[in-house]
Each structure stands twice: as structure tokens, then as C-alpha cells.
A and B are shown apart, each in its own frame.
Chain A
Amino acid sequence: MAASTELAEPVARRQSGLARTASAIALLRESPVGMIGAGIVLAWVLAAVFAPLLAPFDPNATILPFQRPGAVDPTTGKTFWLGSDKIGRDILSRIIYGGRRVLIYGPIATACAYAVGIVMGLAAGYFRGWWDAVLSRVSDIVLSFPIFVLYVIVISTFGASGLNIVLAIVFASAPGIMRIVRGLTLDLRNRDYVAAAQTRGESPLYIMFVEILPNARGPLIVDACLRLGYVTITIGTLGFLGLGLPPPDPDWGGMVNENRALAPAFPHMIVYPCLAISSLVLGLNLLADGLREISIRD
């Protein structure tokens, strides 16, 4: 793998968004691992977007229970490629639609956690003093707590709705993001361009969001990718514990939980949803690894 020096050089100042995306993709092509990860993630995104076209059955329709993979539905003549579950819903269709749920709630929760964490981290790192002391102490407390203990208590109390799950994830992840942003800000706030902006008389808000934040994006993008994978695991695990998004819409973790008791006779009911979630997280983690490799090389 030859490092592409012409791309690694500081890029021309004003590039269009499209050109920058294109050069980012070109960079990613140098990391085979990252490409595989991006491919897996893209496949799941496409499956989620085109779910109505791809799924052979309605994911919530009860058709024929206890079908093994490859069995044919006698009334419609369609095949249960991955079998059906205990109340007769097609597992392949549920997995495809289940991807929609994860790929909607996961990014929303991650983005919200980032919004909160970035604001906290910028404030703590830029203003320091009291802001830093208070915000750091709060995040220390949240982070010192085993996170699933918190999820279990909060969600079993307030009920398992999409909003509550997103809020719980934001509450648990924002402090970690805050720590990263704070560290980056403490470093960047001493740069010359920040001093220049201060001399120009820019407001702290402008300096934080226009001068500091864009320059901290590299590590944050890698972290966001990893965190999205972890949020996916969280959503799946909550479903598995019976605390996930409410039925009947398909949820990968929930599918495992519903059909767990029948696993000895019908392992396909729980193995395929597990494969689905594992492959998506694997894709995200490989992508993060590829991005990190590239960012280190630059």
C-alpha cells in the first residue's frame, strides 16, 4: 500500500463538500479492512432503505409457525429463507425490517449524545475553571457507574419507548464524548488561530464552534463510528433483556428473547438475528479501524 502523499498534504483551502467526500472515500480505499467494514454497513443501510422491496413477507404477519429455513409457504408459494418464528412470522423479513429500527435509533441516539457531549466538552475545555470542575465531576460519576445497571433501572422504571432508550443512551454516552472533546479542546485552545480569533474579538461561541470544533473532527469521527457500534450493541442487548423497543415491530435483540425458549428445537430462530447484529457492529468497527489507520498515517 503506497501512501498517497498528494492527498495527505494539507488540502487546498476551500474545497466543495462533494470533493472532500470524494477524497475521503479515495483515502478509505487504501485500507482494505475499512473498505470491508464500509461495505457491510452500506449493505445494511441499503437493506433497511429498500426493506419493502427485499423482504419476501410482511414482517408482522403471522403466516406459518415453526418453519425451518428453506421451507415453502403452501398458500403463497414463497420461501421462508431463514425459517419462521414461533407465531409464524418470516425471520428474514423481520431481520431486514429490524435493521431499519437499529439504523434509525442508533444514529439518532449517537448524534444526540454527540450534541450534548460536544457542548459540554467545549465548555469545559475552553472556559476551564468552574465549568470544567463541575462538568468533569458529573461525568466522572456517570462514567464510574456500570452502564447497563443504569439502563436496566431507568428503562424498567420509565418504560421501554424509543424516546426513553435514546435519552438513556445520551445520558450514558455524553460524558465519554465530553472527555474526548475536552481533551482536544484543551490542546487546540492554545493554537495561534484561536489567539488570532480572540484578538479579532470573536465571541467564545464562535471560537468554540467555528475555530476549535472543525479542527477536532478527526478523532471524533473515528470515535463516533465506534460509538455507533456500541450503541447498536446496547439497543440489541436491551431488546434481548426484554427492555427494548416495544413489539410487534421487529427488533433483533427482541427476536432472540422471544424465541429463546424454543432454541433447542429451532436454533435458527435465535442464531440469525444474532448474526445480523454482529455483522452490522463488525462493519462499523472495521470501518472505524480503517478510518483510524488513515488518520494516523496523515
Chain B
Amino acid sequence: MLIFLAKRFVYLLFTMLVVSMLVFLVLELDPGNVAQKVLGPYSNDEQRRLWMEANGYLQPLPVRYAQWLGNFLTGDFGMSTRFKVPVADILLPRLANTAMLGLGVLIVMVPLALVLGVLAGMKEGSAQDRTISVFSIATTSIPEFASGVFLVAIFVLWLGVLPGVSNMSSGFDLSQMVLPVAALVMYGFGYITRMTRASMAEVMQTHYIRTAVLKGVPARQVIMKHALRNALIAPFTVIMLQINWLLSGVIVIEYLFAYKGFGSLLLEAALNKDIFVIEACTMVAVLVAVGTQTIADIGYMYLNPRIRFS
């Protein structure tokens, strides 16, 4: 177990190092661009050169990367050229907002997807199964921005019951969370549903379920006591991996609803070549991705004693 965790930790560090290098390389090949973004399109070459000199952009790329890496490791994420504040000051509140959004999505999506998946997988090929399957394919076919647009069209423009902008300008407002969460759930739950369905359908074919049915255990008890435990192992992994997908989804949804979170921060930083914010954001993304993957693996082994740490 410890060896497994240590291996994962090394892998995490390695991935972060490789990704940070690639991001630096991609973004910093032409620092003149950065100067132009900061000083505006009407700045002249002399101003840009001075700005670059003042901010250390004239040093060679490896030197700048090493400097950044050293600062990053000691907890100094650099200054944001776009927001003119230290990166940590802007990143942390944004991350908290996105964590809230993500938590809301998981709270709604996971029970919904599991229940639908179990209902569909219980009787494979039944009308109930067909309906749920086609429904989950349909919602998964609608891109996040389109589900957002449809929800806005219905609940904001037509019924007028919910706000269409979620910038929380006057403090936290639960009603502003409804549509972003709903849009993300709509796109995301179908995949978990289908995985749960497949897993459930497989378990229902096993001998011990047939034995339970034949010896007269009530159907309800067969499902609840015998089938569910084994059927929910596979979806657990999928749910953890969905957190990775959420980081992509929030970029779109936060942009659409003007929600001040991690995704909109990253998008704005990328469009303005705000290198240190982008680096910090990608490091967070890698951390979340590898972290959830590790939790998924550990949880999988814990839930399924047949698999052992290796």
C-alpha cells in the first residue's frame, strides 16, 4: 500500500514537471506576445522591451523556467499580469467557487445516475431499460454549452423563474447555482448511468443472483442485498474519473454563466497569455486528475477484495 502510494506520488511529480515544462515551452517561446498583451496593442517596441527587461523576460527560456520552478516549489506562484495581483490571491477563491460548483454537481448527479443505471440494468432489454438508455444517450449528446443555452431559454427567457447569470455579484445566491449545476449534470450523468447499467446487467447474470432468485428471495432483497454491492464497484471508478471531466466542463459552463471560478479564470488567463496563472491552473488540474485517479484505484481495491495492491 505504501509502495503503491509512493509510486503514485513520484508519478504525480513527474507528470507535473513534464506538463509544466510543456506549458512553459508553448507559452514562452515568444514573450514579445506577453508584453503586447500586457501593454496593449498601441505600445511601441521600446516600451515592450523595457517591460520585458523589468520582468525578466529577456533571460533565456531554461533560466526563466528554473526561476519559476524554484519560486513555485517555495509557494510563490508569481504575479498575474492580467489581474495585477499575486496568483495565489486570485486562484484560491476561484478554486473554492469551482469546488462548490463541482460538489453541487456530484451531489445531484451521482444519486441520479446510480438510480437510473440500476433501474435500467435490473431488467436488461426491458422497456424501462430502453427508455433510460436512450434518454441518457440523448442528454449526453447535447454539448454543455447547448444544454446551458436550452436551460436558459426555458427557465430564464420563457418561464422567467431563474437568473441566467451566476456572477454572485451580491453575495452567494443559491438560485444562481441551479442552472450551472443542472447543465453540467445533464451532460455528465449519462455516462455514469450507462456504466452502472452495464455493471448491473452483468451482475444480474451471475450464478449467485440466480441462486438467490431460485431459492425464493424477494426481488427487492435480491437487488438491494446481493446485486448492488457488486454492481456499484465499477461506477465508483467512473465517478472519480468524472471529476477530471468536470474540470473541462466548468470552463464552458463558467464562461456561459459568468461564474467566477477556476474554469473562467483559466480561459481568461489563456486568452491574455497570463503565464503564471496558466501554470498554476494546469498544476491544479494535474493534481486533481492524478489525485482522483489514485483515489479511484485505492477505492477500487478496497471495494473489490479480489484485487490486491501490486
Contacts and interface: CB of A to CB of B under 8 A. Distances in A.
Interface of A: 33, 141, 144-149, 152-154, 156-158, 229, 233, 236-237, 240-242, 253, 256, 260, 263-264, 267, 270-271, 274-275, 277-278, 281-282, 284-286, 289
A158 to B, nearest CB: 8
Interface stretch (B206-214, B283-291, B302-310): B283-291
Contacts of B144: 237
Nearest to A155: B270
Given A141-B15, A145-B19, A285-B141, A33 B278 contact: no
B2 interface: no
13 contacts: A33-B134, A141-B19, A144-B15, A144-B244, A148-B252, A237-B145, A240-B255, A241-B252, A267-B157, A278-B141, A278-B146, A281-B141, A285-B141
Interface of B is mostly: helix
B152 interface: yes
Interface of B: 15, 18-19, 23, 26-27, 133-134, 137-138, 140-146, 149-150, 152-153, 156-157, 164, 244-245, 247-249, 251-252, 255-256, 266-267, 270-271, 273, 278, 281-282, 285-286, 288-290, 293
A254 to B, nearest CB: 11
Given A33-B134, A263-B152, A274-B150, A149 B145 contact: no
Most buried by B among A264, A267, A284, A289: A267
A278 B140 contact: no
A242 B255 CA distance: 11
A237 B149 contact: no
Contacts of A236: 143, 145-146
B244 A149 contact: no
Nearest to B30: A157
Contacts of B290: 144
Contacts of A275: 146
B289 A240 contact: no
Most buried by B among A144, A157, A158, A256: A144
A106 to B, nearest CB: 13
Contacts of A274: 142-143, 145-146, 149-150
Contact of A153 (B23, B143, B150, B248): B23
Contacts of B138: 282
A237 B256 CA distance: 11
Given A237-B145, A241-B252, A278-B143, A145 B285 contact: yes
Most buried by A among B255, B273, B293: B255
Most buried by B among A264, A271, A284: A271
Contacts of B267: 152, 241
7 shortest interchain CB distances as A-B pairs: A148-B248, A274-B146, A282-B141, A146-B247, A156-B270, A281-B141, A240-B145
A144 B293 contact: yes
A271 B150 contact: yes
Most buried by A among B140, B143, B252, B293: B143
Contacts of A152: 251, 266-267, 270
Given A154-B26, A157-B26, A286 B137 contact: yes
B11 to A, nearest CB: 8
A129 to B, nearest CB: 19
A156 B271 contact: yes
A284 B137 CA distance: 10
A291 to B, nearest CB: 13
B184 to A, nearest CB: 13
A253 B266 contact: no
A281 B142 contact: yes
Nearest to A257: B145
B146 to A, nearest CB: 4
Contacts of A271: 149-150, 153
A284 B141 CA distance: 9
Nearest to B33: A157
Contact of A145 (B141, B273, B289): B289
A146 B289 CA distance: 7
Contact of A240 (B26, B252, B293): B252
Contacts of B134: 33, 286
A278 B143 CA distance: 7
A153 B153 contact: no
B252 A278 contact: no
Contacts of A286: 134, 137
A270 B141 contact: no
